Amino acid sequence: MKIVCIGGGPAGLYFGLLMKKLDPAHEIVVVERNKPYDTFGWGVVFSDATMENMRAWDRKTADEIEQAFNHWDDIELRFKGRRMRSGGHGFVGIGRKRLLNILQARCEELGVRLEFEREADSDADFPDADLVIASDGINSKVRTRHAEVFRPDIVVRPNRYIWLGTDRLYDAFTFDFQRTEHGWFQAHVYKFDERTSTFIVECPETVWRAHGLDRADAQQSIAFCERLFADNLQGQPLRSNARHLRGSAWLNFQRVVCEQWWLRNEHGSHVVLMGDAVHTAHFAIGSGTKLALEDAIELTRRFEQAGGGAERIAQVLAAYQDARRIETLRIQNAAWNAMEWFEVCGARYCDQLEPEQFMYSMLTRSQRISHENLRLRDRAWLEGYERWFAQRQPQVGEASSATAPATAPAPTSAPDSSTASGIAPPMLTPFRVRSLELKNRVVVSPMAQYSCVDGVPGEYHLVHLGARAMGGAALVMVEMTCTSPDARITPGCPGLWNDEQRDAWKRIVDWVHEHTDAAIGMQLGHAGPKGSTNEPWAGDGAERPLPAHNWPLVSASALAYEPGVSAVPRALNHAEMLRIRDDFVAATRRAAEAGFDWLELHCAHGYLLSAFISPLTNHRDDEYGGSLANRLRYPLEVFTAMRAAWPAERPMSVRISAHDWVEGGITPADAVEIARAFKAAGADLIDCSSGQVSPQQRPTYGRMYQTPFADRIRQEAGIATIAVGAFGAADHVNSIIAAGRADLCAIGRPHLANPAWTLIELAKIGVGAVAWPRTYERAKSQLETGFAREKAAAASTAAPASMPHLPPQRREAAT
């Protein structure tokens, strides 16, 4: 085959040498516009796992890189005068120049032709090539030329960064945060050879402009950074080697994703994108070079599997695209989280979190490194952090001594101390809100069961809620309970509009208090435009209007939830709004009489109060419509009246849809304002759900996908939050609570599948220090032993034969 690689960066050079090694008959040329051994940049990092992969494909290159690279384990944080370290992170750093020189020399040795100082205009410059590799970097001309086929999506990010170097040597990957009068800057620093360290300085665009750095040339920018990080640099200068850059040396990161990775051009040559030309990963995760090298490996692997040969190129390229697209998206998602963390840290974390928690938050920024993963990396550090966290005793709202908390003492077994460390993991730390102490941070999320007759909860609810109250969660939330018959979603919804319902609830609450140490909370709501529908299990009619006995719907405006399908509600007049507010208050009193420990107002998911808040569903032209403040007016009036009727020592939360996921709807920034307004009205926590306001919604689902809303609201509005949505394991809860992204985690569907979710999940991660119902105690140690055996068996088979010397966390990507 005749192969041309346009661009002699890591992708082009490594692919060239691997293919030549695979079949020396291939005619391979790498075309590079720079001079030989002339490149820009300082050090790059990648993980031990990438090295292992490279060793399997070309031992000689890997050995040379290994001799040249710097390996280090620690991450150090310099923040507010403190220096903190954690270990076990496993990075490899090498000068970009050194890396390219090794690859260039190996190419020459194997017979790959290197043509330097040749700028290729396009793939069409090589009409007789069978295969053109577009490894021409982030501003790929080849990608631009065929943009209609490759369909690149390029997002320019708001932060500014400058890539500098220094002779000062660091023995850890160092992050340094400095506050200025205009905002925070951070430096990412790592040594990459015996003389030099990379020193990347980053800040938000607004901070950058406020300091006049948009008007500064490279030398002025360097002088600014030297002053800012003077303590850290200890007199050593910073240097730029970006000679090719004109004007400001400060860049914006561009995230590149392409839908299609290959094509056949007008000369019949196959053209394929590789490396930064097809995908970029932010330096916060240090994976750009790793991805470029792994692209080269994967394409070579596919040619090897296909048995070489120009006739199979299309098939090989399709297989390469399928395999690499998924893997790179995975890395890009993690890189995106890490990048966003650095973009918002100045506004959201630096001033809000204590240094210990700031460090934890930074280490888990990509959300790929979890609590248990940190334990594998550095057990001593994590246990120190767990100890620090456990000693903090958060108190939300004033603890009133007027009335005793509603929860009764627990008939549970005493917790044992069978965890190795004996320290409670973050999810098991208690949480006090007003006079209620929750035993841990897990909540059973409210979940409609549609199983009442005339709104009265019966045996079904006693069993359903009772089982979940025995399952280890600290708080069991009852499903949305309606304030009047016409406030129901379905005829099966529970209610609190009469005393019979109150007494039926009291029986359940009493049972929970008598037999468990869980608290139990009531969620009050009004279905509004989404009322009078069938239960979800009604086949084709599910969640559609009832076939008969419908009740008239009301809402903020006369807008059907699903036009043409849902009934059209009537816009409420003021007198009706007062009547509904009073219904909420009456139900609040009944909830207090029934003994509930907690009250939540449902302002989410397109129901009545949510329909007032969202501009998609509120088109009113009175004082309850228009601006966000106006749209919040009615939900706040309802909340304020309820708060006055609800005992002062008991907590209240508000569930909101923090994102409508529709253009023109509520955004996470609005959600911060909504949270501030409810906080001012006396809410203790915001329960951060999203969506279900419009059938047009386009949510981005994924593990813990709503947690960023809880995080943002908690830090920016300064109110405690409940995170909810797609938690799969105790490890997720521990990570979120420990990082301060939320105060409580509500778990929904997993609790439908398993009432004892909390107890089982804790047993899985080997935490024995949790009380089980004393009647179930005999099952506890048996379960724990079983999980411990499974874990030991998995560990003994997990280590690949080639990497037995590395701990598991180091076989994964570095950050």
Ligand X SMILES: Cc1cc2nc3c(=O)[nH]c(=O)nc-3n(C[C@H](O)[C@H](O)[C@H](O)COP(=O)(O)OP(=O)(O)OC[C@H]3O[C@@H](n4cnc5c(N)ncnc54)[C@H](O)[C@@H]3O)c2cc1C
Ligand Y SMILES: Cc1cc2nc3c(=O)[nH]c(=O)nc-3n(C[C@H](O)[C@H](O)[C@H](O)COP(=O)(O)O)c2cc1C
Applying CB under 6 A, which residues contact ligand X? 6-12, 31-34, 44-46, 119-120, 135-137, 141, 163, 200, 275-277, 283, 286-290, 292
Residue numbers of the site for ligand Y (CB under 6 A)? 445-448, 479-480, 523, 602, 604, 655, 689, 724-727, 747-750
Q: How far apart (Å, rounded) are the C-alpha atoms in residues 502 and 496?
A: 6
Catalytic residue status for 776: no
> Which phi and psi angles does 442 have, rounded to 5°?
-100, 135
Contact partner at residue 628 from ligand X, ligand Y, none, CB < 5 to 8 Å by partner kind: none
> Which CA distances in Å does 472 have to 762, 776, 784?
9, 12, 15
For residue 185, what are its two tokens? 């800057």
Contact partner at residue 83 from ligand Y, ligand X, none, CB < 5 to 8 Å by partner kind: none
Q: How far apart (Å, rounded) are the C-alpha atoms in residues 569 and 62?
A: 68
Return the DSSP state at 456. B
Q: How far apart (Å, rounded) are the C-alpha atoms in residues 84 and 175?
A: 10
Shortest CB 739 distance to ligand X, Å: 24
- The per-residue DSSP string of 775-795 comes to GGHHHHHHHHHHHHHHHHHHH
Contact partner at residue 136 from ligand Y, ligand X, none, CB < 5 to 8 Å by partner kind: ligand X
Shortest CB 608 distance to ligand Y, Å: 13
Catalytic pick among 14, 561, 607, 624? 607
In 364-491, which ranges are continuous DSSP H helix?
Answer: 371-377, 379-391, 459-469
Backbone dihedral region of 727: left (phi > 0), alpha (psi from -120 to 50 degrees) or beta? beta
Per the CB < 8 A criterion, the answer to whether 526 and 495 are in contact is no
Q: How far apart (Å, rounded) are the C-alpha atoms in residues 82 and 2?
A: 57
Shortest CB 571 distance to ligand Y, Å: 24
Nearest partner of 439 among 519, 513, 512, judged by Cα: 519
Shortest CB 753 distance to ligand Y, Å: 10
Task: Output 156 or 801, the one with its CB closest to ligand X.
Answer: 156
Contact partner at residue 34 from ligand Y, ligand X, none, CB < 5 to 8 Å by partner kind: ligand X
Q: At what angle do helices 379-391 and 730-739 cross, to 10 degrees?
A: 70
Closest residue to ligand Y, Cβ-based?
748
> Which CA distances in Å does 213 have to 221, 231, 251, 254?
7, 21, 12, 20
Shortest CB 490 distance to ligand Y, Å: 11
Task: Output 559 or 745, the one with its CB closest to ligand Y.
Answer: 745
Per the CB < 8 A criterion, the answer to whether 39 and 96 are in contact is yes
Contact partner at residue 7 from ligand X, ligand Y, none, CB < 5 to 8 Å by partner kind: ligand X
Per the CB < 8 A criterion, the answer to whether 412 and 771 are in contact is yes
Shortest CB 467 distance to ligand Y, Å: 16
Q: At what angle do helices 48-57 and 59-68 cross, to 10 degrees?
A: 140
List all residues 6 or more positions away from 23 whose beta carbon is below 8 Å from its beta carbon.
Answer: 1, 308
Q: Which residues are catalytic?
A: 607
